[in-house]
Protein backbone atom coordinates (compact mmCIF):
# COMPACT_ATOMS: atom_id res chain seq x y z
CA UNK A 1 0.00 0.00 0.00
CA UNK A 2 1.11 3.55 -0.77
CA UNK A 3 -0.06 6.40 1.45
CA UNK A 4 0.67 10.10 0.98
CA UNK A 5 -0.40 12.65 3.57
CA UNK A 6 0.20 16.35 2.99
CA UNK A 7 2.98 15.67 0.49
CA UNK A 8 4.46 18.91 -0.84
CA UNK A 9 7.18 19.65 -3.36
CA UNK A 10 8.58 23.05 -4.32
CA UNK A 11 11.39 24.32 -6.51
CA UNK A 12 12.28 27.68 -5.04
CA UNK A 13 9.10 29.75 -5.10
CA UNK A 14 7.37 27.40 -7.55
CA UNK A 15 5.07 24.84 -5.95
CA UNK A 16 4.77 21.59 -7.92
CA UNK A 17 2.14 20.11 -5.60
CA UNK A 18 1.04 20.84 -2.06
CA UNK A 19 -0.81 19.00 0.71
CA UNK A 20 -1.34 15.99 -1.54
CA UNK A 21 -3.23 13.07 0.02
CA UNK A 22 -3.45 9.73 -1.77
CA UNK A 23 -3.92 6.07 -0.87
CA UNK A 24 -3.18 3.23 -3.31
CA UNK A 25 -4.12 -0.24 -2.07
CA UNK A 26 -1.73 -3.15 -2.50
CA UNK A 27 -1.98 -4.76 -5.92
CA UNK A 28 -3.77 -1.86 -7.61
CA UNK A 29 -2.62 -0.60 -11.02
CA UNK A 30 -2.90 3.20 -11.10
CA UNK A 31 -2.42 5.27 -14.23
CA UNK A 32 -1.59 8.97 -13.83
CA UNK A 33 -2.42 11.17 -16.80
CA UNK A 34 -2.34 14.90 -17.35
CA UNK A 35 -0.71 17.70 -19.33
CA UNK A 36 3.04 17.93 -19.79
CA UNK A 37 4.74 19.94 -17.09
CA UNK A 38 2.02 19.22 -14.53
CA UNK A 39 4.47 17.50 -12.16
CA UNK A 40 3.51 13.88 -12.76
CA UNK A 41 7.11 12.66 -13.01
CA UNK A 42 8.10 14.73 -9.98
CA UNK A 43 5.33 13.07 -8.01
CA UNK A 44 6.41 9.60 -9.15
CA UNK A 45 10.07 10.29 -8.39
CA UNK A 46 9.06 11.53 -4.95
CA UNK A 47 7.66 8.09 -4.18
CA UNK A 48 11.18 6.65 -4.04
CA UNK A 49 12.85 9.89 -2.94
CA UNK A 50 14.68 10.58 -6.16
CA UNK A 51 12.99 13.91 -5.56
CA UNK A 52 12.99 15.07 -1.95
CA UNK A 53 9.53 16.30 -0.84
CA UNK A 54 9.48 19.44 1.26
CA UNK A 55 6.71 18.38 3.63
CA UNK A 56 4.31 15.54 4.40
CA UNK A 57 4.58 11.84 5.09
CA UNK A 58 5.10 8.98 2.66
CA UNK A 59 4.47 5.31 3.43
CA UNK A 60 5.07 2.33 1.16
CA UNK A 61 4.28 -1.16 2.43
CA UNK A 62 4.60 -0.16 6.06
CA UNK A 63 7.82 1.85 5.72
CA UNK A 64 7.19 5.54 6.52
CA UNK A 65 9.24 8.72 6.21
CA UNK A 66 8.44 12.25 7.35
CA UNK A 67 9.65 14.90 4.93
CA UNK A 68 11.94 16.73 4.58
CA UNK A 69 14.12 15.41 7.41
CA UNK A 70 14.88 11.89 6.23
CA UNK A 71 18.07 10.19 7.34
CA UNK A 72 19.96 7.83 5.03
CA UNK A 73 18.79 4.70 6.84
CA UNK A 74 15.13 5.65 6.43
CA UNK A 75 15.69 6.64 2.79
CA UNK A 76 17.35 3.31 2.05
CA UNK A 77 14.52 1.40 3.76
CA UNK A 78 11.84 3.20 1.74
CA UNK A 79 13.66 2.72 -1.56
CA UNK A 80 13.75 -1.02 -0.93
CA UNK A 81 9.97 -1.05 -1.30
CA UNK A 82 9.82 0.08 -4.94
CA UNK A 83 11.58 -0.17 -8.29
CA UNK A 84 11.43 2.33 -11.14
CA UNK A 85 11.54 2.09 -14.91
CA UNK A 86 12.77 5.43 -16.27
CA UNK A 87 11.79 7.19 -19.48
CA UNK A 88 15.44 7.70 -20.49
CA UNK A 89 16.65 4.20 -19.48
CA UNK A 90 19.38 5.40 -17.02
CA UNK A 91 21.69 2.51 -17.85
CA UNK A 92 25.37 2.40 -16.94
CA UNK A 93 27.16 2.76 -20.26
CA UNK A 94 30.35 1.04 -19.04
CA UNK A 95 28.49 -2.04 -17.78
CA UNK A 96 27.07 -4.91 -19.81
CA UNK A 97 23.35 -5.60 -20.03
CA UNK A 98 23.68 -8.36 -17.43
CA UNK A 99 25.70 -6.14 -15.11
CA UNK A 100 23.13 -3.36 -15.42
CA UNK A 101 20.30 -5.64 -14.35
CA UNK A 102 22.32 -7.29 -11.58
CA UNK A 103 23.66 -4.01 -10.15
CA UNK A 104 20.78 -3.32 -7.79
CA UNK A 105 20.73 -6.90 -6.59
CA UNK A 106 24.40 -6.66 -5.68
CA UNK A 107 24.43 -3.16 -4.19
CA UNK A 108 20.97 -2.84 -2.65
CA UNK A 109 19.91 -6.43 -2.01
CA UNK A 110 23.47 -7.57 -1.14
CA UNK A 111 23.05 -10.84 -3.01
CA UNK A 112 26.05 -13.04 -3.88
CA UNK A 113 27.23 -12.37 -7.43
CA UNK A 114 26.18 -15.77 -8.80
CA UNK A 115 22.68 -15.44 -7.37
CA UNK A 116 22.31 -11.84 -8.57
CA UNK A 117 23.38 -12.77 -12.09
CA UNK A 118 21.02 -15.78 -12.16
CA UNK A 119 18.07 -13.59 -11.18
CA UNK A 120 19.12 -10.90 -13.65
CA UNK A 121 19.40 -13.44 -16.47
CA UNK A 122 15.91 -14.78 -15.69
CA UNK A 123 14.46 -11.28 -16.10
CA UNK A 124 16.42 -10.67 -19.29
CA UNK A 125 14.97 -13.89 -20.65
CA UNK A 126 11.47 -12.66 -19.70
CA UNK A 127 11.93 -9.55 -21.88
CA UNK A 128 13.63 -11.46 -24.71
CA UNK A 129 17.18 -10.17 -24.20
CA UNK A 130 19.10 -13.05 -22.67
CA UNK A 131 21.14 -13.34 -25.88
CA UNK A 132 22.29 -9.75 -25.36
CA UNK A 133 23.61 -10.25 -21.84
CA UNK A 134 27.19 -9.34 -22.77
CA UNK A 135 26.31 -6.33 -24.93
CA UNK A 136 26.81 -2.75 -23.77
CA UNK A 137 24.03 -0.11 -23.87
CA UNK A 138 25.73 1.67 -26.77
CA UNK A 139 25.21 -1.46 -28.87
CA UNK A 140 21.44 -1.57 -28.28
CA UNK A 141 18.45 0.13 -29.87
CA UNK A 142 16.21 2.37 -27.78
CA UNK A 143 13.62 -0.38 -27.46
CA UNK A 144 16.23 -2.86 -26.30
CA UNK A 145 17.54 -0.37 -23.73
CA UNK A 146 14.05 0.05 -22.33
CA UNK A 147 13.65 -3.74 -22.12
CA UNK A 148 16.82 -3.77 -20.02
CA UNK A 149 15.28 -1.07 -17.83
CA UNK A 150 12.14 -3.15 -17.36
CA UNK A 151 14.18 -6.25 -16.54
CA UNK A 152 16.20 -4.25 -14.01
CA UNK A 153 13.03 -3.01 -12.31
CA UNK A 154 11.50 -6.47 -12.14
CA UNK A 155 14.71 -8.06 -10.88
CA UNK A 156 14.51 -6.01 -7.68
CA UNK A 157 11.32 -7.91 -6.79
CA UNK A 158 9.92 -4.90 -4.92
CA UNK A 159 6.26 -4.75 -4.00
CA UNK A 160 5.74 -1.51 -5.96
CA UNK A 161 6.71 -0.85 -9.57
CA UNK A 162 6.93 2.77 -10.78
CA UNK A 163 6.80 3.37 -14.54
CA UNK A 164 7.78 6.89 -15.59
CA UNK A 165 6.74 7.50 -19.22
CA UNK A 166 8.42 4.25 -20.32
CA UNK A 167 7.80 4.87 -24.04
CA UNK A 168 8.33 8.63 -24.32
CA UNK A 169 11.99 8.41 -25.40
CA UNK A 170 11.34 5.79 -28.08
CA UNK A 171 10.83 6.12 -31.80
CA UNK A 172 7.18 5.51 -32.74
CA UNK A 173 7.86 2.13 -34.35
CA UNK A 174 9.34 0.83 -31.07
CA UNK A 175 6.48 1.90 -28.81
CA UNK A 176 4.13 -0.99 -29.59
CA UNK A 177 6.78 -3.57 -28.72
CA UNK A 178 7.45 -2.04 -25.30
CA UNK A 179 3.73 -1.65 -24.58
CA UNK A 180 3.25 -5.36 -25.30
CA UNK A 181 5.97 -6.21 -22.79
CA UNK A 182 4.47 -3.87 -20.20
CA UNK A 183 1.02 -5.41 -20.65
CA UNK A 184 2.53 -8.72 -19.63
CA UNK A 185 4.35 -7.12 -16.70
CA UNK A 186 1.30 -5.32 -15.36
CA UNK A 187 -1.06 -8.25 -15.75
CA UNK A 188 1.24 -11.02 -14.51
CA UNK A 189 3.18 -9.60 -11.60
CA UNK A 190 1.58 -9.36 -8.18
CA UNK A 191 2.64 -5.78 -7.56
CA UNK A 192 1.29 -2.34 -6.93
CA UNK A 193 1.94 -0.44 -10.16
CA UNK A 194 1.96 3.33 -10.62
CA UNK A 195 2.20 4.29 -14.28
CA UNK A 196 2.64 7.66 -16.00
CA UNK A 197 2.04 7.63 -19.73
CA UNK A 198 0.67 9.68 -22.62
CA UNK A 199 -0.39 6.43 -24.28
CA UNK A 200 -4.05 6.87 -23.37
CA UNK A 201 -5.29 3.63 -24.89
CA UNK A 202 -2.68 1.68 -22.96
CA UNK A 203 -3.54 3.38 -19.65
CA UNK A 204 -7.25 2.76 -20.20
CA UNK A 205 -6.55 -0.90 -20.95
CA UNK A 206 -4.25 -1.82 -18.06
CA UNK A 207 -5.18 0.48 -15.18
CA UNK A 208 -7.63 -0.36 -12.41
CA UNK A 209 -7.76 3.32 -11.49
CA UNK A 210 -6.88 6.54 -13.30
CA UNK A 211 -5.83 9.86 -11.76
CA UNK A 212 -5.96 13.09 -13.75
CA UNK A 213 -3.21 15.32 -12.40
CA UNK A 214 -2.99 19.02 -13.25
CA UNK A 215 -2.22 22.29 -11.48
CA UNK A 216 -0.50 20.36 -8.69
CA UNK A 217 -3.69 18.54 -7.78
CA UNK A 218 -5.54 15.31 -8.45
CA UNK A 219 -8.54 16.77 -10.27
CA UNK A 220 -10.17 13.43 -11.10
CA UNK A 221 -9.90 9.95 -9.59
CA UNK A 222 -11.90 7.00 -10.86
CA UNK A 223 -12.08 3.90 -12.99
CA UNK A 224 -10.86 4.09 -16.60
CA UNK A 225 -14.53 4.23 -17.61
CA UNK A 226 -15.16 7.15 -15.26
CA UNK A 227 -12.21 9.22 -16.40
CA UNK A 228 -12.04 8.44 -20.11
CA UNK A 229 -15.75 8.15 -20.89
CA UNK A 230 -17.50 10.23 -18.21
CA UNK A 231 -14.97 12.84 -17.02
CA UNK A 232 -16.42 15.34 -14.56
CA UNK A 233 -13.82 18.10 -14.30
CA UNK A 234 -13.68 20.58 -17.22
CA UNK A 235 -9.88 20.24 -17.51
CA UNK A 236 -10.19 16.45 -17.67
CA UNK A 237 -12.79 16.72 -20.44
CA UNK A 238 -10.57 19.11 -22.38
CA UNK A 239 -7.51 16.87 -21.98
CA UNK A 240 -9.31 13.65 -22.93
CA UNK A 241 -10.96 15.40 -25.86
CA UNK A 242 -7.59 16.19 -27.41
CA UNK A 243 -6.74 12.48 -27.56
CA UNK A 244 -10.08 11.46 -28.98
Distance CA 140, CA 146 (A): 10
Q: Which residue has the higher pLDDT, 170 or 44?
A: 44
For 58-73, give one letter per residue: b (16+ CB within 10 A) or e.
Answer: bbbbeeebebeebeee
Over range 13-39, report the average pLDDT.
93
| pLDDT bracket for residue 1 (50, 70, 90) | very high
Rg (alpha carbons) of the chain, rounded to whole number: 18
Q: For residue 134, count CB atoms less than 10 angstroms from its CB and return exposed for 0-12, middle for 13-18, buried for 19 or more.
A: exposed
| pLDDT bracket for residue 113 (50, 70, 90) | very high
Angle 100-101-105 (CA atoms, 0-180°, nearest 5)?
Answer: 110
Residue 244 has pLDDT above 70, yes or no: no
Distance CA 89, CA 144 (A): 10
pLDDT score for 188? 65
Residue 37 has pLDDT above 90, yes or no: no
Q: What does the pLDDT look like over 167-215, one tens digit per residue?
A: 877 777 778 888 888 887 776 667 899 999 888 988 998 999 999 999 9
pTM of the model: 0.90
Backbone φ and ψ for 73, nearest 5 degrees, come out as: -65, -45
Which residues, including other chains, have CB under 8 Å from residue 133's CB and lie 6 or more apart? 96, 97, 98, 121, 124
Amino acid sequence: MIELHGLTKRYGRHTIFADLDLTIPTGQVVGIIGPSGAGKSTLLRSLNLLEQPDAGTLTIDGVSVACPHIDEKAKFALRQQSAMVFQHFNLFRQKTVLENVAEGLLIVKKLPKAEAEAQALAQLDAVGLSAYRNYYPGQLSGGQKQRVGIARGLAMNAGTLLLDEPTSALDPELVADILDILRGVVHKVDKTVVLISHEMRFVREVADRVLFFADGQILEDGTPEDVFVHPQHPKTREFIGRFQ
